[in-house]
Amino acid sequence: MTCGIIVFLLGTAALVWFTWSFSIKERRYHGIFRFFAFEALLALLLLNHRHWFHHGCSPAQTLSWLVLFASLFLAVHGFRLLRRVGKPRDQIEDTTVLVEEGAFRYIRHPLYCSLLLLTIGIFLKRMTTGTTVLALISILALYLTAKTEEHEMLQKFGRVYEDYMRRTKMFIPWVW
């Protein structure tokens, strides 16, 4: 348990540095909510890591692995598009071009969707009251992150982003 607390504290310190360096300092306030999503994810991972391979063929474990692989695919796909099409200045978040291809053609936040899938995949490893609360905190924080970032993108891209918002869904194509 002590090791888990140390890992959590070190992870928290790294997340504070990351949030300050790449969001707050650059006046991108969506990073505040993203910090809480990452904190909940870290706690969820630390609570469930021992159960990663328990009951390997159970429906929950099978679904968990499918969701985790989908999360990984969406993250790699989203980062590649942001680098290639978004033409970031210094950081991946500082794109100069609005990306509207690949997953971005259907959803505005593939990377946050990837984190939502990661949350669900880790949660499915062991579902308890505590992991349910952490998963809900992560999901809410990711939703607030996306809403805050949309406000920032409206400031940055204006009417183009407004039109993009009308054509796409937030996280799930054709649904939400």
- Write the pLDDT tens digit of every residue in 36-88: 999 999 999 999 988 887 777 889 899 999 999 999 999 999 999 999 999 88
Distances from the Cα of 101 to the Cαs of 17, 72, 80, 98, in angstroms?
Answer: 32, 18, 11, 9
Q: Which domain holds residue 92?
A: 2-167
Helical pair 129-157 and 159-167, crossing angle rounded to 10 deg:
140
Q: Is residue 117 domain-resident? A: yes
Long-range pairs for 4-13: beta carbons < 8 A, 24 or more residues apart: 4/46, 7/46, 8/42, 8/43, 8/46, 11/42, 12/39, 12/42
Cα distance between residue 52 and residue 30, in whole Å: 30
The residue that leads in pLDDT, 114 or 4, is 114
Split into its structural domains, the chain has a count of 1
Cβ-based neighbour number of residue 67 at 10 Å: 19
Q: Is residue 21 domain-resident? A: yes
17, 21, 82, 63: CA torsion to nearest 10 = 20
Q: Is residue 105 domain-resident? A: yes
What contacts 134, CB < 8 A, 6 or more positions away? 40, 41, 43, 44, 47, 123
Q: Is residue 118 domain-resident? A: yes
Residue 25: the pLDDT is 63
Tens of pLDDT, residue by residue over 117-128, are: 999 999 999 999
* Residue 90: pLDDT over 80: no
Query: Which of 16-20, 69-73, 144-148, 166-170 has the least mean pLDDT?
Result: 16-20
Q: Which of 69, 52, 74, 70 is nearest to 123 (CA)?
A: 52
Q: Is residue 172 domain-resident? A: no
Q: Is residue 176 domain-resident? A: no
Q: Is residue 126 domain-resident? A: yes
Residue 176: the pLDDT is 55
Query: Which of 6-15, 102-111, 116-125 has the least mean pLDDT?
Result: 6-15
Q: Is residue 50 domain-resident? A: yes
